Amino acid sequence: MKVEERRLPAEVYKALEDIVGPEYITDDPVILESYSFVWGNELLFGSRLAPFRPLAVILPGSAEEVQAIVRVCNRFKIKFKAHSTGFETTSISGTEPFLMIELRRLNRIISIDEKNMMAVVEPYVTHAELLYEALKRGLCFNALGAGPSASVVASSACHYGAGFHMIRSHWDGQNLLGAEWVLPDGEIVRLGSMAADAGWFTADGPGLNLRAVLRGITGANGGHGIITKVAVKLTPWYGPSKLKLCGTPPLYGFEVPENFKLYVVAFRSASSLVDFLYSLQEEELAFAAYKLPLGAMTYIQVTTESNDQAWEVFNAKKDIVARANYSVILLLDAISPKEMEVKEMCFRKLLEATGGEILPLEEREEKALFVQLLTGVGTFRESFRAAGSFAISGIYDTTADTLAKMTEVITRAVMLKYMKEGRIVYSEGQYWLCPVGNQHYHMEQVFSYDSTDPASIKAVHEIIESSVRLMIEQKFGPHGDGFLSFDDNVHNIAGPACLDYHLKIRAIKKALDPNLLSESSSYVTPK
């Protein structure tokens, strides 16, 4: 594939260089090439590499430098996109070359307020960094599905932000307390109380509350400016300030503290599993709880080093695998032995009422699963290893019973067809279902595909489009993920059936970005 090469005009390059210094801007093709690859590119371009490189990469060191860069882009009409830790196509892919504003120098935890349980961070602070600093203070932050190296700013203000202990910590978008936002025209806006220089404690006033405009459900993915700081809510942590590491990479784990208990529980049906999660959330028993997306294969993949080793364990545990198609991983925590005794008693009564069965876990499995629950380590092993890559047919948020029915309909009408054709790796009941709070649930229907096989790649496109159409036809309602879309392909299907939401976000885009320079192919196109 021929790669399109475009450079910034010398005048523009010099104006940007004057802002950050020559050491923090480059148009070296070798460096630019490294920004041409990201997971999922083949779904957009038919190749693992994008068909073009960025115009240049620039590394600002402050919000003021970001503002100055954006103003230069407006003066010379240069498209731009910000990048922090990056993970998928929404982070660095676009439809044409643009200036890559790399935020890795903005990497400070500015403050952790123990009393008010909140933190203020810059874009290159990862979930792992914030978690470990919070644990020292008896606090905790959500463990992201994208892994411990993912940006807190990206997940809380720019993208979805679903994680493993949302039943306690909520999802990252719900934890957003404030943001410093460089708009596409270069103006800096601070949300909520920070707008009145009253601290970061709330996004609801006395200043503007623009969280719905800033992120909605899935965020704008860089489509309407650059976030340079966020304030996020933290939750209590009853474990030790420092966890004991064990094992060796890549299969290391944490010793489970004395005041925590980890279980994997299997159910005979999706409805029994849903009843258990409803009751568990109502009784407020768990630090973490969610449906294992691949059943027993989830923790087999998480706790093994290769597909070969996973296959050996699978064959040795066929009986458990057969019983674990609908299974929940559960982590209880307590501030005292007496509280743990009460929680375990309640847990076992719920288990009895819903017909659940506790599955046996080896010690190494328990430790590896605990580190995944707390940090997100190990997620990529279960997601990528089976076929080389993975996709999600839909991300939905509503009540658990609706999600279970929706998944069953999509499975029978769409997923099984492609599984039988051998174009994807999938099994019935393969979805992640996680309580978020107040009987609200998050679901992702995951499957694996071969990123080197055109037929498998084509199947991903067909599955996503068919799933969205089916959800609308079956009157499940607009429970989706904001219909995250590249270049409007999904918006055009879902928008007319869902209150023309795409027209509203298009109007927001045009109002915030009159010159249409903030790259927005993973948000909305300004048609």
Q: What span, in angstroms and rounded, lies between the C-alpha atoms of 104 and 120?
A: 16
**CA angle 94–99–101, rounded 5-degree value:** 100
Higher-confidence residue: 197 or 105? 105
Say whether pLDDT at 481 is over 50.
no
Q: What CATH code is assigned to 10-102?
A: 3.30.43.10
CATH of 109-236, one of 3.30.465.10, 3.90.550.10, 3.40.50.300, 3.40.50.150: 3.30.465.10
Residue 332: beta bridge partners? 261, 286
Tell me the pLDDT tens digit for each residue of 105-117: 999 999 999 999 9
Q: What span, in angstroms and rounded, lies between the C-alpha atoms of 190 and 228?
A: 10
Peptide bond into 206 cis (omega under 30): yes
Tell me the pLDDT tens digit for each residue of 132-182: 999 999 999 999 888 899 999 999 998 888 889 999 988 888 899 999 999
pTM across the whole model: 0.92
Say whether pLDDT at 3 is over 70.
no
Residue ranges per structural domain of the chain = 10-102, 109-236, 245-383, 387-484, 485-527
Tell me the pLDDT tens digit for each residue of 344-368: 999 999 999 999 999 999 998 999 9
Calculate mean pLDDT across residues 30-43: 87
Whole-number pLDDT of residue 76: 98
Mean pLDDT of the chain: 89
Q: What span, in angstroms and rounded, lies between the C-alpha atoms of 52 and 388?
A: 24
pLDDT interval class at 482 (50, 70, 90) = very low
pLDDT interval class at 30 (50, 70, 90) = very high
Calculate mean pLDDT across residues 407-420: 91
Calculate mean pLDDT across residues 299-327: 89
pLDDT interval class at 483 (50, 70, 90) = low
Domain 245-383 in this protein, CATH class:
alpha beta
Q: What CATH code is assigned to 387-484?
A: 3.30.70
Tell me the pLDDT tens digit for each residue of 311-323: 999 999 998 988 8
**CA angle 193–199–201, rounded 5-degree value:** 70
